[in-house]
Amino acid sequence: MRITVVGAGSWGTALGKVWAEKGHEVRLLARRPALAEAINSRKLNPDYLPEIELPENLKAFIDPGQALTKTEVVVWAVPCQHLREVAQGVRDILPRKIPLISAIKGLEIATFKTPVEILGEIFPENPRGVLSGPSFALEVARGLPTAVVLAFEEESLARELQEALSTSFFRLYRSQDVRGVEICGAVKNVMAIAAGISDGLELGLNARAALITRGLAEMMRLGLTRGAEPFTFSGLAGLGDLVLTCTGRLSRNYTVGYRLGRGEELEEILGSLHQVAEGVYTVKALYRFAQGAGLELPITEGVYQVLYEKEDPRNVLRRLLSRPLKAEFEPPLRP
């Protein structure tokens, strides 16, 4: 199969490697000529996965025309806030009808749209799905066992792509709940920032477990109002990725939170990260949506206040803990 991966960052490169090793013809669409050159001539991605050797049949391009000609699947792995611009740039040359897979976890700030919704506006004739779940790029690139979920509304297409894209260590489960899988992937990044803050403040393992669990409640509260399937939350994209990103030091989102908890400024952290931490942007979309919809998302609100209102995380925590006592499950989490 000819696969084009748009975005030669850590995730696009790791996915491209896995599928090239499976024998697919993978074209990685990069933005910077020097990076494409390094991938092609040195067989490594010095900026994002420097210690990983890449296979010969993983080819990088900077010309979208070359990367997209006669391709059979397009996988999107650019930061969520740039997806619209990147997709619009290839609107006229991307083959009609071929499946598009978003590997992006986020929500567009200006519109509160998910990546698949954005792709739907730009490529209405192409079937669209999402790949998500607990999957640090570095571990995938190293060939460590990983399970993720691939969701397409059309089950036969999900089955076909599941077969084509699974390998002996990269196992795809299928789903038809595209919206639910996307909401889970977006929200878990915000919860990972919260967990990082908690660990940075040395609040302990109890606090982190509480954040993960109440983060799941928050993910469900939002997802259910947006039409997600309840089971999706306990799956790989939901609980699976929440656990990974809220506990794993490889997470950029967790790292942002941890450093905030240690007292660093957001600007300083982002200036030295060199990779995207989607939760930093998704939290804005979520916060605005929750305010408009009257939805209670207290952890999201707290992360927003720490990031954008420069609130001391300790004050935010104090406020979170002094909210009125309540039942563990209230509607819409329980009828």
Ligand X SMILES: O=C(CO)COP(=O)(O)O
Ligand Y SMILES: NC(=O)C1=CN([C@@H]2O[C@H](COP(=O)(O)OP(=O)(O)OC[C@H]3O[C@@H](n4cnc5c(N)ncnc54)[C@H](O)[C@@H]3O)[C@@H](O)[C@H]2O)C=CC1
Which structure tokens are listed for 136?
Answer: 């640090």
The entry of ligand Y, ligand X, none that residue 125 binds, CB within 5 to 8 Å by partner kind: none
Instruction: Find the part of the chain contacting ligand X (CB under 6 A) among 119-127, 173-181, 247-255, 307-315.
Output: 247-255
Cis upstream peptide for 332 (omega within 30°): yes
199 belongs to the binding site for ligand X (CB under 6 A): no
84 belongs to the binding site for ligand X (CB under 6 A): no
C-alpha count within 13 angstroms, C-beta hemisphere, residue 156: 0
Cα–Cα nearest to 232, from 170, 294, 175, 282 = 175
Give the interface with ligand Y as residue ranges (CB under 6 A).
Answer: 7-12, 31, 48, 77-80, 82, 85-86, 103-106, 135-137, 275-276, 278
251 is in an annotated binding site: yes
Nearest-5° angle of CA 119, CA 15, CA 185? 55
The entry of ligand Y, ligand X, none that residue 244 binds, CB within 5 to 8 Å by partner kind: ligand X
Q: Compute, in degrees rounded to 10, the torsion defined by CA atoms 307, 311, 316, 319.
A: -140
Per-residue x/- track, 263-292, ligand X (CB under 6 A): ---------------x--------------
240 is in an annotated binding site: no
152: enclosing H helix or E strand: strand 146-152
Cβ proximity to ligand X, 71 vs 189, nearer residue? 189
Distance CA 48, CA 8 (A): 8
Residue 330 region by backbone torsions, left for phi larger than 0, else alpha for psi between -120 and 50, else beta? beta
Cβ proximity to ligand X, 262 vs 319, nearer residue? 262
Instruction: Find the part of the chain contacting ligand X (CB under 6 A) among 88-96, 162-170, 171-179, 239-247.
Output: 239-247
Residue 289: C-alpha distances to residues 131, 221, 283, 310, 320 (Å): 24, 13, 10, 20, 20
251 belongs to the binding site for ligand X (CB under 6 A): yes
Is 43 among the residues known to form the active site?
no
- How many residues in the shown chain lie near ligand X by CB under 6 A? 13
98 belongs to the binding site for ligand X (CB under 6 A): no
Which structure tokens are listed for 165?
Answer: 């894209």
Cβ proximity to ligand X, 28 vs 137, nearer residue? 137
192 belongs to the binding site for ligand X (CB under 6 A): yes
Which residues touch 213 (CB under 8 Å, ≥6 apart)?
A: none
Which structure tokens are listed for 37?
Answer: 């050159």
Q: CB of 122: closest distance to ligand X in angstroms?
A: 23
Which structure tokens are listed for 208?
Answer: 């982190």
* Phi and psi angles of residue 270, each rounded to the nearest 5 degrees, phi first: -65, -35
70 is in an annotated binding site: no
Q: CB of 276: closest distance to ligand Y in angstroms?
A: 4
The entry of ligand Y, ligand X, none that residue 77 binds, CB within 5 to 8 Å by partner kind: ligand Y
Residue 23 region by backbone torsions, left for phi larger than 0, else alpha for psi between -120 and 50, else beta? left
168 is in an annotated binding site: no
The catalytic residue among 22, 113, 188, 284 is: 188
Cα–Cα nearest to 54, from 10, 14, 2 = 14
The entry of ligand Y, ligand X, none that residue 152 binds, CB within 5 to 8 Å by partner kind: none
Cβ proximity to ligand X, 54 vs 184, nearer residue? 184
Distance CA 11, CA 34 (A): 18
245 belongs to the binding site for ligand X (CB under 6 A): yes
- Three-state DSSP class for 65? helix
8 is in an annotated binding site: yes
The binding site for ligand X (CB under 6 A) comprises 105, 134-136, 189, 192, 241, 244-245, 251-253, 278
The binding site for sn-glycerol 3-phosphate comprises 105, 133, 135, 188, 241, 251-253
The residues annotated as belonging to the active site are 188
